[in-house]
Structure 1
Amino acid sequence: MPLRAAKRARSVIVRLLQIRKLLDWLARQRLYVVHYVLRFYVANHIVAGLPGYRIRHAYYRHICRIPLGPGSSIHMNAFITGINIAIGAHSTIGRRTYLDGRAGLAIGDCVSISPDVQIITAQHDMDDPDFADVLAPVVIEDYVWIGTRAMILPGVRIGRGAVVAAGAVVTRDVPPLAVVAGVPARRIRERKPGMRYQCDWFEPFD
């Protein structure tokens, strides 16, 4: 069994290297749109559903070129758009999370993002006759905890140690150590300081 598993792992690595060669060739041919679409199409529709985090993380780091810090994990079926994403160390991204990097998304160290969270950096101006795009980066500082099915809207900064309750819709900045909940999210209490944990959560088949 160990030998068979090792052969399968080598086969997957070979395929990933072949994909990277193809993507690099497309980039050299100045087919940037094709290169971008193909890179993230494969990430979101094939790689994201693969069990075993090592394969996914290798693809995100080396093919999508997303900085993913040591001890950090992106769980299965995350959906990623845009290349302007950086994730610090010892952070975890839950299943089915949507990470929108079109305007820039920075996630700090020791951040816990629960399943089904949506982090959005682009929207439309509903009063513009041309329905213009409005882009604004999102910053999530160290030790932030975001509950399941919360939504973070463009331009928001969530301060160090803050907590976003499950189902909250965050439309404006959250101060450090604040606990926010509701739609739109409002402060309901303060969190105690002094966090020192790490979110090194790796499942063998997730």
Structure 2
Amino acid sequence: MKHFLPELRIYLCNRWVSRLPSHTLRLWFYRSVMKFPVGRGSAIFLDATFDCAGNFSLGDHAVINGKCRIDNKGGIYIGSNVSISQEVMILSADHDPDSPGFTGRNKQVTIGDYVWIGSRALIMPGITIGKGAVVAAGAVVTRDVPPFAIVGGVPARVIRKRSEKLDYTISYRRLFQ
């Protein structure tokens, strides 16, 4: 019985609530039941899944597009004006490959303001993505990303720098997403 209610909450979150075609209802559930601080003007689109309650925050005017996997066991903290494209996977937990007992490890992921993460990118546990950085579609981020860097590839490497003159507010919601 000890694990029943937390497991029920995750089941409802990922199999029912994530599919409700209403931002208002989904955000109410995320804020009230899952205890996620979600900033003003932010959106979490359909079919985004989470691994636990808590350990997640989303800044103002940030967007998590559809079908993203958010493994927030180790903590995921996302800044403001962040755009996370479809099917991105952000992991904050893994296992120690040298542990005889397959010991789990939690490692916080931090994503700064004005970050853009392209479709199907994979962010590994313990990563910090600096302010204004861009992660190209399909990239696998295995190291911290410096502020305003554009990275891509497997594993992701710096391609070039992005302009530091960023002054926009993301306002992106679709009616049934």
TM-score in terms of structure 1 length: 0.83
**SS of equivalent to 2:3:** helix
Q: What is aligned with 1:139? A: 110
The answer to whether residue 123 in structure 2 is matched with residue 152 in structure 1 is yes
Q: What is aligned with 1:55? A: 25
Which of 102, 105, 112 pairs up with 2:76? 105
Q: What is aligned with 1:174? A: 145
What fraction of aligned residue pairs are identical, expressed as a percent? 45
Query: 1:32 & 1:47 partners in 2: Cα distance?
Result: 23
Matches within 5 A, 1:62-81: 62-81=32-51
Query: 2:124 & 2:42 partners in 1: Cα distance?
Result: 23
Q: What is aligned with 2:10? A: 40
- The Cα of 1:32 is off from its aligned counterpart by 5.0
- The Cα of 1:38 is off from its aligned counterpart by 1.2
Query: 2:49 & 2:62 partners in 1: Cα distance?
Result: 17
Mark the runs of 5 or more structure 2 residues left unpaired by the alignment. Answer: none
**SS of equivalent to 1:123:** strand
Query: 1:66 & 1:200 partners in 2: Cα distance?
Result: 20
- The residue type equivalent to 1:138 in the other structure is V
**SS of equivalent to 2:165:** coil
- The Cα of 1:33 is off from its aligned counterpart by 2.3
Query: 1:42 & 1:152 partners in 2: Cα distance?
Result: 25
1:60-99 deviation line (CA, Å, top 9, x unaligned): 1111111000000000000011220011100000100011
Count residues with an aligned counterpart. 176
**SS of equivalent to 1:59:** helix
**SS of equivalent to 1:61:** helix
After TM superposition, where is structure 1 displaced by more than 4 Å over at least 4 residues in a row? none
Mark the runs of 5 or more structure 1 residues left unpaired by the alignment. Answer: 1-30
Query: 2:98 & 2:59 partners in 1: Cα distance?
Result: 37
1:128-164 deviation line (CA, Å, top 9, x unaligned): 2111112100000000000000000000000000000
**Change in CA separation of 1:62 and 1:32 when aligned onto 2, cut-off 3 Å:** farther
**SS of equivalent to 1:44:** helix
Instruction: Report which of the two structures shows the higher radius of gyration computed on alpha carbons.
Output: 1
Moved more, 101-110 or 195-204: 195-204
**SS of equivalent to 2:61:** coil
The answer to whether residue 94 in structure 2 is matched with residue 123 in structure 1 is yes
Q: What is aligned with 1:4? A: none
TM-score in terms of structure 2 length: 0.96
- The Cα of 1:35 is off from its aligned counterpart by 2.2
